[in-house]
Structure 1
């Protein structure tokens, strides 16, 4: 590792950035250096801006992805190299605030039925039944599942923003976790890698499971596995769960983030969903 990369990694860790953020920021600066075949500390603000335009115009990056690069460059030049932000300007543009896609309950039933194997099906069902971010579910340890009847919850350790939280477990979701444990007998991570069970599942693999199941189920709605989290939030609101509790379970810092799901919720949720709001999996319609 070069001294400059180590400086950036030290700065990221000192400020408590999540491992995923550390990896993303360092990768963005590395790509910038490879593009110009020069050390990034030798580049001018105009060259950095030209690279961002290249990503936007030639690589057709979405605005949100482009801003991620911009944030990484701002951190590198302003924090690591201590350059004046007024002189070394890296602009960020407003990202369009599109509402997320939500799958119908019948589509979810088809999706789970089309999962490529038991591990994929269990992972996708738990992603929907708990609303965890994919990184949180990949890093869920067996010991963080509390199955006692008077607790029934997951302990999310150091989720987004380095915050812990508890997420309630319904009996049907717990049954999925137990069934997978009976098959794989995991010791550390509920979902480990195939080659080494002591390593957590790779996020990219979970995304591939989701997209493969969507393709086989004939689901064409945009979005990746994070769609299951959107479905969790929307369906709980439809079933009558209050906004404050949902905010805590999702781990949102601001309730305005949770409120966007109000635009997606329909008033005509199935009766079974309203009787047992947390039993999302058992509320899905049977496949014919």
Structure 2
């Protein structure tokens, strides 16, 4: 089958599990749309499919995933020309949503169970992704070094995330109460089954509404808030990039656009040149300044 071959090729090329799942889903949707194999399509069909996606108001980020999936499939099939009529979708720069520190306190204060309290405290205090937290195992927590091992993050890269002291205390209580066996946050189906992303998102939305926060946000907003608050506290972009696991510093630069207070803390070069300031005020005293 074409799907099986594509999956095997992606595994050989080192693609992450989530990427493989996303790309194969894109190919399945393309097949269902035309009711024929992707091999039997023509460039004009791909053009019309992207037109359909645009008319459906799909987000640019979604279009990029479709484009990447199709480009990979047809490149592996030796038919790169299939994408010749479709331009590479460009991601529009958007200002990400961020919770302020007061809102974070309200969210964590309104968690209904120890499980929720520990989960969302860990997500905010470490800045890790929701897809990374569901993969966490007990062995990934290093209390002595105050670190969390992210064994296979986005792009298949491993890194260490912060384990805050408060989070560590909550985690130790959580381990005693819930006694997880494998996955740190397990499903109601059993301790050998990881909690689902969907269930975590649903729980978060209930807590957000319970906290009286009108601002829309998702679990990923906790990650944005983590990075923004670090920047507001004076930490540099390079450190934040490493903690977030961004391969490219350009991805981290988005937080400059959501952190006005960080920019407002910058001192104008005028304030550092005393001779210029003295000259300005001396001229004002001698000649006066008139405003019309």
TM range (shorter): 0.7 to 0.9
**Scaled by the length of structure 2, what TM-score is found?**
0.84
Residues 130 and 173 of structure 1 are in contact (CA less than 8 Å); yes or no, is this contact kept in structure 2?
Answer: no
Residues 191 and 201 of structure 1 are in contact (CA less than 8 Å); yes or no, is this contact kept in structure 2?
Answer: yes
Structure 1 or 2: more helix by fraction: 2
Q: Hey, what does 1:198 align to over in structure 2?
A: 192
Give 1:242-253 correspondences, 5 Å limit: 242-253=236-247
| Equivalent residue for 2:143, pick from 139, 142, 147 | 147
Moved more, 104-113 or 123-132: 104-113
Q: Hey, what does 1:160 align to over in structure 2?
A: 154
Give 1:120-269 correspondences, 5 Å limit: 120-148=116-144, 151-265=145-259, 266-267=261-262
In structure 2, the CA distance between the partners of 1:31 and 1:165, relative to structure 1 (3 Å rule), is same
Q: Deviations over 1:174-227 (max 9, x none)?
A: 122222212211121111111021122211222212222222223233342111
Residue segments in structure 1 that go unaligned for 5+ positions in a row: 269-288
In structure 2, the CA distance between the partners of 1:223 and 1:12, relative to structure 1 (3 Å rule), is farther
Highest relative contact order (Cα 8 Å, sep 6+), 1 or 2? 1
Residues 234 and 262 of structure 2 are in contact (CA less than 8 Å); yes or no, is this contact kept in structure 1?
Answer: no
Q: CA deviation at 1:120?
A: 2.4
- Structure 1 segments, 4+ long, off by >4 Å, are 86-89
Q: Deviations over 1:144-182 (max 9, x none)?
A: 10011xx11111102112111112222112122222212
In structure 2, the CA distance between the partners of 1:116 and 1:245, relative to structure 1 (3 Å rule), is same
Q: Deviations over 1:237-280 (max 9, x none)?
A: 21222322221111111222223223333259xxxxxxxxxxxx
Q: CA deviation at 1:104?
A: 1.1
Q: How many residues align?
A: 263
SS at match of 1:186: coil
Q: Within 2, Cα distance between the matches of 1:164 and 1:227?
A: 22
Q: Within 1, Cα distance between the matches of 2:128 and 2:116?
A: 15
In structure 2, the CA distance between the partners of 1:42 and 1:185, relative to structure 1 (3 Å rule), is same
**Scaled by the length of structure 1, what TM-score is found?**
0.85
RMSD: 2.0
In structure 2, the CA distance between the partners of 1:14 and 1:89, relative to structure 1 (3 Å rule), is farther
Q: Does 1:111 align with 2:107?
A: yes
Q: Within 2, Cα distance between the matches of 1:121 and 1:195?
A: 20
